[in-house]
Amino acid sequence: MLTHQTTDSNSLDRQVSALFAVLAEIHGTDQLVLKAGKLDSLNLMRSEKLEERVLALERIVHEDPTIDQARSLDEIPDMLEDLEEHLADLLARRTLEEKLEKKISAKMQERHLEYLKEIRQQVLKEEGGPDNAQTLKKYAELEMLEKKQLSRSTLELMRPKALEEVVGQESAISSLLAKVSSPFPQHILLYGPPGVGKTTVARLALKYAQAKSYTPFGEDAPFIEVDGTTLRWDPREVTNPLLGSVHDPIYQGARRDLADGAVPEPKLGLVTQAHGGVLFIDEIGELDPILQNKLLKVMEDKRVTFESSYYDPDDPQIPKYIHKLFTEGAPADFVLIGATTRDPSEISPAFRSRCAEVFFDPLTPQDIVAIVESAAVRLGAKLEDGAAQMISEYTIEGRQAARLLADAYNTALYKREEGDLTDLVISTADVQQVIQAARLSPYVGVKASPTKEVGRILGLGVSGYVGSVLEIEAVAFPASAPGKGAIRFNDTAGSMAKDSVANAAAVFRSLTGRQLSDYDIHVNVVGGGNIDGPSAGVAILAAIISAVWQIPLPQDIAVTGELSIRGNVKPVGGLHPKIYGARQAGVKKVFVPQDNWDEISEQSTVVEIVPIKTAAQFLEAILGSSFDRLQLPVAN
């Protein structure tokens, strides 16, 4: 019996030692000793008594120092079996944890390498910017393209660089400068035909005003230029380049950082960019009427307001500048200079009432000659005698005159075999070749002459800002029977011109005592020109009387005026361009209504201007002694 117990004791002892060895593998020898010390089991673990060693094993496995009851030899086998099961679970868990730790360690190492790569790339970006090899290559290509520049265009070269170089607009320039270079500058509308210098003068006017100490324009005052024909806006206010708009988060084009936070962003318009300076709108008459009214509101308030249903004043994520724009608006204190080729009647009355108006005159042939000669100097070329005069016969626009000169310059250079630019002479043949290639016709179709003709007189018309001479002619034949005559008039001349013929018939009877119905009369406006208004009445009467009495009329005079049925000459419009047209045609004397005298009394003396009050006064002035014949019977 004793031998059997000794054998069991030895077996249990070896089993306990094996379990301690497993614990040493799991925790490590040093860690096992430390753990036994913490669990107050170190002495028990080193004891020679099996019971105490089993107690130490139990405390360490369960990590419970409060276990103090030693097991009897009979209980130890079952206890060891439980401890073995517990150690098996612990060992399996430890093995799994080690595998997981290895995988975690591998993943961490992989992530660490990726992180290092990202950091490295970020450092490279911070040091070298967002560029890479491809973007730097494209940048280099752009730089190479920038170096390959052609010379300036001829039109840019010949453009006036100072107000003194602008030809034929002395009155308009002085009027514009007086309104801009003031402590209280005004908004201005510039009227005039194309190519006379409106845009150039507007650009230079700000520089002139900046030089004056009493003007509100600073050295950095902006000059913002835009073309009214190209300004497009969305009535929903999604976009408005002139006044500004709001980019709501849902719209394309909103900043990503603001869109992510549902923050609307106001975009400033040209009126704010022009704050403190000049906003120049070319072809302002083409601007959308609704946009014109919105611009007027800004001009009055000197501020632009913004609205958006996405704006929340209590949102802490909205930047200060956006809060300020929504609550106070953006400043827009500027001087508006608008240029147009339209008639003032076509411009909004609300706009005109808020702006001073300056009128640019059409250019005369002398002005075109001066422009061409000045441009030739800038080109470094010489002009053959008559070349500049030839160009002046085909255009009244300074821009087109410069273009024709540039074409003639290129033609002359093309003809030179050596292609040398020195001592280049532009001949009349070069100009003629350019004119023929462009298929241009002389601008002035009708010219005055010192001769006299029966049934022909020169009237005056106007289209836009450019006047012209109208050739009015009449023929008269005795009617087949008294009172059976007919009056014919070309339909293309307009309904008001026909009314002028009816008025002329009444005045004809009043002056002569004769019935116009006793004659077959044909009145014609040569070329079928449309006479917009009754201003040809006096001229039609003179042509009819000349045709009936066969009295020749001078061909170097012109007349304009509405004829009343009582023979009075009533005022007409467009006197300035009409007199310009007379000058272009070489007319020496122009007869105008007496009531128009005040508006043209200071006109240039290049053309003699004679005021008339009645048709009889005019006829007596041009017919002289022949005027007395009007009361005589007409010979068949």
Q: Are 158 and 375 in contact (CB under 8 A)?
A: yes
The dihedral of CA 550, 555, 556, 562: what is its sign?
positive
392 is catalytic: no
Q: Which of 245, 308, 500, 535 is catalytic?
A: 535
Of 231, 273, 236, 233, which is closest to residue 251 (Cα–Cα)? 236
Whole-Å CA distances, 99 to 6, 96, 545: 43, 5, 124
What are the strands, taking DSSP E only, across 497-600? 519-525, 552-554, 557-559, 562-563, 569-570, 589-593
As a whole number of angstroms, the distance between CA 484 and CA 503 comes to 19
> Which secondary-structure segment (H or E) carries 635?
none
Distances, alpha carbon 482 to alpha carbons 478, 486, 515, 517, 518, in Å: 8, 11, 9, 7, 5
Reduced to 3 states (helix: H, G, I; strand: E, B; else coil), residue 385 is coil
Report d(CA 381, CA 21) in Å as an integer: 112
- Out of 179, 198, 294, 578, which one is annotated catalytic? 578
Question: Number of helices (H) and strands (E), helices first, in the chain?
Answer: 23, 22
Looking at residue 380, its amino acid is: G
C-alpha–C-alpha distance, residues 541 and 547, integer Å: 10
E runs forming strands in 311-432: 330-331, 335-340, 356-359, 382-383, 425-426
Region label for 328, one of left (φ > 0), alpha (ψ between -120 and 50) or beta (otherwise)? alpha
How many of the other CB atoms lie within 10 Å of CB of 298? 24
Q: How many residues does the chain have?
A: 636
Spatial distance between the Cα atoms of 225 and 210, rounded to a whole number of angstroms = 17
- With residue 333 as reference, give the H or E element that holds it: none
Active site residue 382: no
* Alpha carbon distance 163, 30 (integer Å): 100
For every residue of 582-611, DSSP letters joined together read HHHTT-SEEEEEGGGHHHHTTS-TTSEEEE
SS3 content of the chain, % helix, strand, coil (to 5): 50, 15, 35
Between the CA of residue 443 and those of 537, 584, 606, what are the distances in Å?
25, 9, 20
- Side chain identity, residue 108: M
Task: Point out the residues that are catalytic.
Answer: 535, 578
